[in-house]
Structure 1
Amino acid sequence: MAYSLTSMMLLCYVMSSLHAGLSETITLSSVLKTKKQVADPPMFCPYHPEPVPLPSPLPDKITDVLTNLSSMAKLIINETSVPGLAAAVAYRGETILNIGYGVVDKKSKSARTPDSDTIFRVGSISKVFVVLTLFHLLEAGHVKSLDDPLTDYCPSFSIKNSYSIKNVVTLRQMVAELSGLPDQPPCFGDLSGNLCPTTTDDIIARLKDQYLVMTSWTRPSYSNLAFALLARCLMHRVNSPITYEEYVEKNILAPLKMTSTGFKITDSVKARLATGYNIDGSEAPLYDLGWAAPAGQMYSTVNDLMKLAQFFNSFGQDGGILSAESVKQMSLPAFLDYDGVTVWGTPWEMLFQDSYLVRSKGSQLSGYSGFMTFLPELQLSYVILISGTPSLVNILSYPYDILVKAFVPVLTGLQPKYPAPPNPEAYIGTYIDQSGLANFSIFQYEDQLAVQTSPTVALFISYYDDLLFQIKEPPLLPCVSYEVSAANNQWLYFEKIDDKTGKSPGFAFPGLFGLDTFKRVA
């Protein structure tokens, strides 16, 4: 006899409970308790609330954490090597913290404080735009696949390999720091001006005599060369009449309205640019990265980078330069590092923070540093730009540590009830499947409909449309068991309501061999 999917769900719950040694049955009250409290026992898959609107004024727990962040930022400032910074936090695309401390320039008599429109050099945050360009060209059909070999775009590229006979460097590897290419391009530049006064042909000719630092897909190895080379080769392949820099300005910066972001440091940019300082307090030179510009040449503001972060948080809806599918793919992990906490993406350096994966891109360029970060699951973004080079580890981990701990309980308490139908009595009752092994008892609880599938399992069902509901399963199992059971968001298809009784006589549920049918017995 074939068991219904409901029976297999029940078996999964019971076996998981026995395996975990749970003493408390999984009842509706425990479901509500889990939804209303943020508990993190290792046997439960963490609960992630939806990022719903916050009340005005903001809850005390949120304002307290923003005050804490402001105080932390102020502690970064020192008069010698870190004289100024600007930072902001946004939720659901709206700025809820906007701060600036210190001075834009130590020599200025005006002692102007940096703000969200002050320009800073953003170094490796420039690499985000290489990946955006790659996906933009992919959607336009100029790139066939992210797994194309680089030689499809720069046919003369080659590099020696001491690890294996054959190693193909692909586009995906390059943007995920998994290509094995050396860190720096062979530029032979001038430290007093252009750091890389060369061409793609010259770089490729020099690489023929260099070696991979490791085989591809082994583990991350940071490579400025990979991003600069990819950007230049992409333009070569599409026979673009414009440079990479011009392509980014036209196809990415302009649509995103990032009007204070670019590559070339003109006099008008200098007028708004915070002066960068070295660790010894000396003024940092404004290097031009030349050919290597795609890897780190750009400048921007907190406001502009907040627009970019919101583009990712909204999965591309705010900006329209890429499809949601491409933005989601760009936001996925590529490599879980050996510490089990650090995750590498394209081109993100990610960090697990209280069960959330924070996407970030850090920056350190002579005299400047900072982070652009975003967390789509909570619709949070945090940007900090600094005219100096402090230690950046806590600048990333600490804000999200306290932000997540504040937002999750607040949002959990604000979650809306699941919609109930206008005629709940038409669905309330007891149903049994064709095998006689599983039953559903549907009842009303606090203006919502809930279903008891056994004495140990209780779930909510959410009204979607006439005769159509979705199961809402709380994460009361380990993540693997919860996701393998695949009950959450499954559909219940109710039969037409009987004109005489005013009740639905049954419903269908997706099962192993099609739709399991349940008939009303009470």
Structure 2
Amino acid sequence: MSKVAVLGVFIAILAITTIAFAGLFTWQYITNTPSGDNPTQPDTTTDTGCPKYPKPQEIDFTKHEEFKNFFEWIDSHVASLVDENARLSITANLVYLDKVIWSGYYGRVNKSTTVKPNKNTIYRIGSISKVFSVLFLFKLWEDGKLDLYDPVTKYAPDFNIGRPLGTKNKINLIDIASQLSGLAASLPYSRLNESVIIYSGTLGDALQLLQSQILVAEPRSRCYYSNLAYALLGHILARNFTTDKDFENWAKQNIVDKLNLTNTGFTYSADVRAIMAAGYLPSGVQAPVYEMLWYAPAGNYYSTIADLAKFSMSFMETSKTILKHETLTEILRPRRTCRHDYFVNITGSPWEMNKLHDYLVVSKSGAVEGYTSAMTMIPELKLSFNFLMAGFRNEDVARIVLDKAIPLFRDTLKKMQQKIMPTPNPEKYVGFFSYYNLENQTISVDENGILIMKNPESPLTTLSAGLSYVSDTVFQLLLMGPGFPCIGDLDIQNGAFVHFKELVNGKYNQFDFPEKFLYGYKRL
């Protein structure tokens, strides 16, 4: 092939590539493109178009009949789960942004009274306690005091456990926090019966006991649920990073008090027991309330449905939080896909994760003698469903509720106009811009001072984007109105930044769209 021919091919490829990248705010009408990331598990709900993941904003629920029906359905469904013998009481709430938008209290606090539970009725929360140990770890990481991938032996040189395959793979702190350590469910001989875990020794005693044991799996090789891991994590961190070496004191001062969790704690005092719902075993026998002692960081906490609402808001950044945004992003990140024989698809730190309607569901559930609990969040929707039961659950109630809630919130938000900030001096931006004669954009201003961007060549001429004012040179591109076809990467463009440059004679002569690597839309 001659040099001229090669050059011709190169220019042709470059032109095609350039056109492909130039698709800023360009729509094509496609009716037969399947939606969803996984065509084998399609989302059967109505697709009202882009944005695929609409940004949460305030909703006036009184103006939407479908929400009234939904709240009535939740009330009826959760109430139906009460069992006079083995599931005597349930409290639950639904949180959106920074508010509890629905709550329900069902049954009786114990079999000798007709008193119903309320938002301040205390229940054991079991393994939701593990979240406190993990918050301790991530707070230390945020403060630069450790690395998530530090080996456990850096902070516990006496931590030594056998490897069944004879390897020397190190167990890191993040493995301990994410059900990836390979540690057994508990210390040997610590079970008093088939479900109670109590150990009265010290951290030193536990570490010495582990030296004669082996892992059940190689570190990071598979997901394996371990209460032992989180008890070790809490106590090892307390031994190294607190003056009194007391995990419970650290958790109270740095989590419970700062988030104003008024009825959450470890110690089952007389005052706590006085406002506590009685838990019941499947046989209908009242469950004993016991202290887990050394295992406290893994499952000894109690709380209320009101406090769980605050706790979930702290992770969704809609209320008080103890971690910075970057740290919260890391703590909510999936860690590993689990094998088919594990009870969830994805493990987190310490979350159980699944996908539902293309959204990541981040949950921590708990089960301890006589009590079941769950805090289940959809971070991208700022939506959380929480429940506390005095008995064992008979279904995945959070999944059932969220299976209905997600499409309802998503589709409602898609239909709502996104909040677009007006521009103080719109005349500086109004005009006709071209990207190397490959694509054109017009910018105009409406009666509210909002900049409107349109592609005049688009067949869907009624659709447009608003440029929401951030600063004199930076705007956010926001899709306007419902019904956008969610094709290509249009969804990614929603919320992306537009950068204006070259202010000459009171007008900007260029804007860039860094999200799409598009630099040089010139004023004509």
Where on the TM-score scale, by shorter chain, does this alignment land: which range? 0.7 to 0.9
Asked if 1 retains the 8 angstrom alpha-carbon contact of 2:61 and 2:67, the reply is no
- Indicate the SS of the match to 1:290: coil
Distance 2:262 2:477 in 1: 46
Report the CA distance shift for 1:151/1:454 in structure 2 as closer, same or farther (over 3 A). farther
Aligned to 1:32: none
Please state if 1:86 is matched with 2:96: no
Q: Which amino acid aligns with 1:477?
A: I
Aligned to 1:431: 433
Distance 1:367 1:409 in 2: 38
- Indicate the SS of the match to 1:198: coil
Aligned to 1:302: 305
Aligned to 2:499: 492
Please state if 1:69 is matched with 2:74: yes
Report the CA distance shift for 1:449/1:193 in structure 2 as closer, same or farther (over 3 A). closer
| More displaced 10-residue stretch of structure 1: 504-513 or 113-122 | 504-513
Distance 1:453 1:218 in 2: 54
Shift of 1:313: 1.2
Distance 2:97 2:351 in 1: 21
Shift of 1:283: 1.1
Aligned to 1:95: 100
Shift of 1:3: 6.7
Asked if 1 retains the 8 angstrom alpha-carbon contact of 2:428 and 2:508, the reply is no
With normalisation by structure 2, the TM-score equals 0.84
Aligned to 1:405: 407
Asked if 2 retains the 8 angstrom alpha-carbon contact of 1:6 and 1:438, the reply is no
Please list every run of 5 or more consecutive structure 1 residues that lacks an aligned counterpart in the other structure. Answer: 26-37
Matching of residues 109-508 of structure 1 within 5 Å: 110-142=113-145, 144-186=146-188, 188=190, 190=192, 195-238=198-241, 240-314=243-317, 318-337=319-338, 342-393=345-396, 395-416=397-418, 418-421=420-423, 424=426, 427-433=429-435, 435-443=436-444, 449-452=452-455, 454-455=457-458, 460-464=465-469, 465-472=471-478, 476-477=486-487, 489-496=496-503, 498=505, 504=507, 506-508=509-511
Please list every run of 5 or more consecutive structure 2 residues that lacks an aligned counterpart in the other structure. Answer: 1-10, 34-44
Shift of 1:51: 1.7
Q: Deviations over 1:54-111 (max 9, x none)?
A: 22635221121111111111111111101111111122221221211111011x2x32
Q: Deviations over 1:191-241 (max 9, x none)?
A: 699821111122112212222111222221111011001111111222531
Percent identity between matched residues is 30
Distance 2:252 2:231 in 1: 16
Q: Deviations over 1:390-433 (max 9, x none)?
A: 2242x121111111122122222223353453565654443234
Report the CA distance shift for 1:432/1:94 in structure 2 as closer, same or farther (over 3 A). closer
| More displaced 10-residue stretch of structure 1: 298-307 or 59-68 | 59-68
Q: Deviations over 1:326-382 (max 9, x none)?
A: 122111111234569832211111221212212111111010001112222222222
With normalisation by structure 1, the TM-score equals 0.84
- Indicate the SS of the match to 2:62: coil
- Indicate the SS of the match to 1:57: helix
Report the CA distance shift for 1:13/1:514 in structure 2 as closer, same or farther (over 3 A). closer
Report the CA distance shift for 1:190/1:463 in structure 2 as closer, same or farther (over 3 A). closer
Distance 2:377 2:278 in 1: 26
Please state if 1:104 is matched with 2:106: no
Shift of 1:6: 6.8
Q: Deviations over 1:159-207 (max 9, x none)?
A: 1112352211111111111111111123536569982111112211221
Shift of 1:11: 6.5
Report the CA distance shift for 1:122/1:515 in structure 2 as closer, same or farther (over 3 A). closer
Please state if 1:10 is matched with 2:16: no
Distance 2:477 2:309 in 1: 36
Shift of 1:291: 0.8
1:47 paired residue among 15, 40, 52: 52
Distance 2:241 2:437 in 1: 63
Report the CA distance shift for 1:345/1:194 in structure 2 as closer, same or farther (over 3 A). closer
Q: Which amino acid aligns with 2:175?
A: Q
Distance 2:453 2:24 in 1: 20
Distance 1:513 1:239 in 2: 48
Shift of 1:39: 4.6
Distance 1:120 1:347 in 2: 21
Q: Deviations over 1:278-325 (max 9, x none)?
A: 00001111122111111001111101111101111117xx33422222
Report the CA distance shift for 1:440/1:161 in structure 2 as closer, same or farther (over 3 A). same
Q: Which amino acid aligns with 1:496?
A: L
Shift of 1:246: 1.4
Distance 1:188 1:518 in 2: 69
Q: Deviations over 1:492-514 (max 9, x none)?
A: 31443636xxxx36213257999
Asked if 2 retains the 8 angstrom alpha-carbon contact of 1:89 and 1:381, the reply is yes
Report the CA distance shift for 1:513/1:492 in structure 2 as closer, same or farther (over 3 A). closer
Shift of 1:5: 9.2
Report the CA distance shift for 1:498/1:100 in structure 2 as closer, same or farther (over 3 A). same
Q: Supply the RMSD in Å over aligned alpha carbons.
A: 3.4
Shift of 1:255: 0.8
Asked if 2 retains the 8 angstrom alpha-carbon contact of 1:371 and 1:385, the reply is yes
Shift of 1:117: 0.5
Matching of residues 10-29 of structure 1 within 5 Å: 10=22, 22=30
